[in-house]
Amino acid sequence: MKIEQIFTSCLAEMAYYIESNGEVAIIDPLRETTPYMDRAANDNAKIKYVFLTHFHADFVSGHVDLAKKTGATIVYGPGATAEYELHNGAHGEIFNIGDVTLELLHTPGHTMESSSYLLRDEKGKEQCLFSGDALFIGDVGRPDLAIKQGELTEEDLARHLFNSLRNVIMPLPDDIIVYPNHGAGSACGKNMSKETYDSLGHQKEVNYALRADMTEDEFVKEVLTGLVAPPQYFPKNAGMNKGINMDIDSIVARGTKELSLEKFNQLVTEGALILDTRHQNEFIKEHIPGSIFIGLSGGFAPWVGALIEDIHQKIVLITDFGKEEEAVIRLSRIGYDNSLGYLPNAISIWKDAGNETASIEQITAEELAELNKNEEISILDVRKVSEYNAEHLVGAINEPLDSINSNLENIDKSKTTYVHCAGGYRSVIFGSIAKKNGIHNLVDVAGGYGVMKNVPEFEMTEYVCPTTLL
Ligand SMILES: [Fe+2]
């Protein structure tokens, strides 16, 4: 038996590959199919099942493509309905994968169809639980994403989750390993640990949601406190996961098409967005006017999903050489399937044709401290509210990047504004979107707060542990 956790840091997502005696089960695959098919081919094994723990909201799964290519059966928990063929597993149903089994355990709460899968080895001993978004390491799945107006409230779902945890998951043996669908950084929970797995027994000791003496009302209160609004693309991705979408091979073929400058310009004129995915340092130095920056080196997919409001937006890409396919796949993981191609060697081609490039002014933290000493300047901190509340530069105003589309008018165009985030990624996204919207007098602070807090001239608010503020 082989169990592999496949971690994708951009989405803090964990898919699972399980192989036994020539048969394979995949749990919660991302949009692309090759990582799973290549593993099965390597093991000379056949993908028999694609299990989904629930209808994901934070990414679009490729389960339909994977099933089509391999003949595998798609399995969801009780009550799941979709446009494609699936097997509705029942609570307690056993699935054979080679010499091991997976038992479906219905664990509603995060969503109503949410299910976990308990793996028993060749000897019938419980080994691990693929817990989806029912139980994370250090947290549980948020119960507010699947509320249905007039039918289910987030409190109803929280009560379901309490019962799933107490009556289905907590009675399992303490020594089983919990393999969740997400880790720290995912918006599917609020306070996940960095670890990507743990024993159930240890989670019972350290996970606030599994506290032995917790009442149902206390659980509901704690789970629902401090939830921030989900990113705008979540309901759209949840909808796509119930439908049949454009297949990944066609998306990649179209998105990785090399464009001539003429075709590139034509697509932009027709409304395509220029998305520059290079490193922020490259973008700052030189970019094509009107492009926005969201780099592959950071939380690319979640930021695309949070900031590009139209999921059907047509996109033309500027990428580092050889990164075109990665950009297209990472866009499709959150349902942005309309990549129309890329401009190769973009900056040179652009300039060779006699076009001007644009840049973003940048200063160091030390230079900013000097300016701050001598005059009253406007400093914008674009980190999350929780990060700002934990610690910030005295006098800096918080304007989180997440809300830039609704808050751009708050920026005073008449004066220079210095923009920083934690490390220099988000502030460049902010600057690029502001620039595209006609705000040009922004100056980026290199290295962001991480560097600023070590400059002695700056006065910072006292550090408060962020978790106490959630
Ligand atoms: Fe989820």
Distance between Cα 57 and ligand 1 center (Å): 5
State whether 270 and 371 are in the same domain.
no
Q: Rounded to whole angstroms, how far apart are CA atoms 285 and 160?
A: 52
Domain end residue (candidates: 343, 374, 395): 343
In a domain, residue 201? The reply is yes
Domain end residue (candidates: 200, 218, 237): 237
Distance between Cα 145 and ligand 1 center (Å): 8
Distance between Cα 58 and ligand 1 center (Å): 6
Distance between Cα 147 and ligand 1 center (Å): 13
State whether 219 and 257 are in the same domain.
no
What is the per-residue pLDDT across 339-360, written as a single tens digit (0 to 9) for each?
999 999 999 999 999 999 999 9
Distance between Cα 160 and ligand 1 center (Å): 15
- Ion ligand 1 residue ranges (Cβ < 5 Å): 133, 188
- Of 31, 68, 35, nearest to 332 by C-alpha is 31
State whether 315 and 196 are in the same domain.
no
Distance between Cα 259 and ligand 1 center (Å): 36
- Lowest average pLDDT, out of 50-64, 106-120, 216-230, 327-341, goes to 216-230
State whether 386 and 323 are in the same domain.
no
pLDDT at residue 158, rounded to an integer: 96
State whether 80 and 208 are in the same domain.
yes
Distance between Cα 440 and ligand 1 center (Å): 38
pLDDT at residue 467, rounded to an integer: 46
User: Across-strand partners of 120?
Assistant: 101, 126
Instruction: Quickly tell me which residue has 């949410």 as its tokens.
Output: 114
In a domain, residue 102? The reply is yes
pLDDT at residue 87, rounded to an integer: 98
Distance between Cα 399 and ligand 1 center (Å): 27
Mean pLDDT of 299-305: 97
- Strand 100-106 relative to strand 94-97, pairing: antiparallel
In a domain, residue 350? The reply is no
| Greatest pairwise CA separation for the chain in angstroms | 74
Q: Rounded to whole angstroms, how far apart are CA atoms 105 and 90?
A: 8
Distance between Cα 118 and ligand 1 center (Å): 18
Residue type, 177: I
- Of 73, 97, 99, nearest to 84 by C-alpha is 73
In a domain, residue 230? The reply is yes
DSSP secondary-structure letter at 71?
-
Q: How many structural domains is the chain composed of?
A: 3
Distance between Cα 139 and ligand 1 center (Å): 13
Show the tokens assigned to 351. Answer: 């300039």
Mean pLDDT of 324-337: 98
From residue 131, alpha-carbon distances to 61, 143, 170, 223 in Å are 17, 15, 12, 17
Q: Give the containing element (helix H, strand E) for 68.
A: helix 63-70
CATH of the domain at 99: 3.60.15.10
In a domain, residue 354? The reply is no
State whether 233 and 278 are in the same domain.
no
State whether 326 and 375 are in the same domain.
no
Find out whether 395 and 368 touch, Cβ atoms under 8 Å. no
Distance between Cα 187 and ligand 1 center (Å): 9
The mean predicted confidence, pLDDT, of the chain is: 95
State whether 42 and 64 are in the same domain.
yes
Distance between Cα 123 and ligand 1 center (Å): 32
**pLDDT over 90 for what percent of the chain?**
89
Show the tokens assigned to 465. Answer: 């542990």
Distance between Cα 46 and ligand 1 center (Å): 27
State whether 256 and 229 are in the same domain.
no
Distance between Cα 183 and ligand 1 center (Å): 11
Distance between Cα 345 and ligand 1 center (Å): 38
pLDDT at residue 368, rounded to an integer: 96
Confidence of residue 273 (pLDDT cuts 50, 70, 90): very high
Count of other CB atoms within 10 angstroms of residue 322: 7
In a domain, residue 214? The reply is yes
For the whole prediction, is pTM greater than 0.85?
yes
Count of other CB atoms within 10 angstroms of residue 193: 17
CATH of the domain at 314: 3.40.250.10
Distance between Cα 144 and ligand 1 center (Å): 10
Distance between Cα 263 and ligand 1 center (Å): 39
Mean pLDDT of 254-266: 98
State whether 83 and 169 are in the same domain.
yes
Distance between Cα 417 and ligand 1 center (Å): 37
> What is the crossing angle of helices 63-70 and 34-42, to 10°?
40
Distance between Cα 110 and ligand 1 center (Å): 7
In a domain, residue 348? The reply is no
| pLDDT at position 469 over 50 | no
Mean pLDDT of 367-381: 92
What is the per-residue pLDDT across 406-442, written as a single tens digit (0 to 9) for each?
988 888 888 999 999 999 999 999 999 999 999 999 9
Q: What is the 3-state secondary structure (H, E, C) of 244-298?
A: CCCCHHHHHHHHCCECCHHHHHHHHHCCCEEEECCCHHHHHHCECCCCEECCCCC
Distance between Cα 236 and ligand 1 center (Å): 13
Mean pLDDT of 33-49: 98
> What is the crossing angle of helices 324-332 and 300-307, to 10°?
60
From residue 211, alpha-carbon distances to 79, 208, 216, 258 in Å are 29, 5, 11, 55
In a domain, residue 174? The reply is yes
Distance between Cα 115 and ligand 1 center (Å): 11
Domain end residue (candidates: 343, 378, 400): 343
State whether 75 and 111 are in the same domain.
yes
Domain interval for residue 98: 2-237
State whether 415 and 453 are in the same domain.
yes
Distance between Cα 133 and ligand 1 center (Å): 5
Distance between Cα 111 and ligand 1 center (Å): 8
pLDDT at residue 470, rounded to an integer: 34
Distance between Cα 167 and ligand 1 center (Å): 21
